Copies of this chain bind each other. A is one copy, B any other.
Amino acid sequence: MRNSNRQWTIAARPVGRDVVESDFALVEGPIRPPATGEVVVKVDLLGFDPALKGWMENIGGYVAPTSIGDVMRGSGIGSIIDPGDSGLAMGATVIGPLGWQDFATLPAGQLRTLENDSQLSAHLGVLGTTGLTAFCGLERVGKPFPGDTLVITGAAGAVGSVVGQIGKIGGCRVIGIAGGPDKCRMLTQELGFDGAIDYKAGPMTDALRELVPDGIDVLWDNVGGTMLDTLLGRLALKARVVICGGISRSKTGGMPVGPSNYFNLVFRRATMEGFILNDYEADYDRARQRLQGWLADGRLQSREDVQTGLENAPRTLMRLFEGANTGKQLLRVGD
């Protein structure tokens, strides 16, 4: 095992442009020993999501601001190699805000202990913030009802693929929008979506007319921009639009392009609502229990894209904005 600690720090803020490798700097130093209440965790697996870019930019205001030079934040799973005075077991598997580094020294209170089961990585995806985002956002904002048509942008991504599967469990007709035939095939043939639209294959008008003839009851948007605008033009009466992400903004500045079809909210008596997962902490246990049950009985499938090597952390984040990942983007750090 290493006895030094590599850490990726924030070197620049990707405001109004794509994330690039030079936004990060790799530094190497000693492993910091634990202070009172702290433990040292060897990082095994890191999870990535588009919000990390927003945190680097300091937009949104729902997490503490980042500073240049900070170790890059990120959720991870690892094992305790120094429990300090915490009372946690040596070698215990834990999940928490470990950051982009080989070893994390942090308060034990920020960690949750995991059973060392076969689905460990799912705790960063389907059973982690990804699955909770899908569950809580649908339950509280999307409010799917049997027979509803649920349309999802970024449907082959981590959150999107869970949203669609929960929609199917809830009796919805689920149409996913994704980039490329492979992702679309995965949605319909592996995850049970009723239809998929490859937005890279050209204008979506014909496909929407065919697959969404009666309009969209629940629109789950991870993309924003012109795609959201197009879909707002096809809402059904009393539609609910869940704004979860706006990955199209990564290339266009602080905010995605505004959807001029927002005014269709009036004609369709529709609602557009944003949410931040943190607000629903009281729902986490119940949500996790249901997700775990669906995962166990096979109604919910976990899709993961696992890269390898801490040195590849920046490039792994960039995969999200290139649309290279299918399912949850992970990075295996350990040897």
Contacts and interface: CB of A to CB of B under 8 A. Distances in A.
Interface stretch (A143-151, A178-186, A255-263, A286-294): A255-263
Contact of A257 (B245, B256, B258, B272): B258
A265 B261 contact: no
List of 4 A-B pairs having minimum Cβ-Cβ separation, nearest first: A258-B258, A266-B274, A265-B274, A258-B260
A46 B255 CA distance: 44
A294 to B, nearest CB: 26
A267 B262 contact: no
A246 to B, nearest CB: 5
Interface string A233-248: 0000000000111100
Given A224-B263, A246-B263, A263-B243, A269 B276 contact: yes
A249 B266 CA distance: 14
Interface residues of A, number: 34
Contacts of A244: 266
A149 B59 CA distance: 24
A270 interface: yes
Nearest to A141: B271
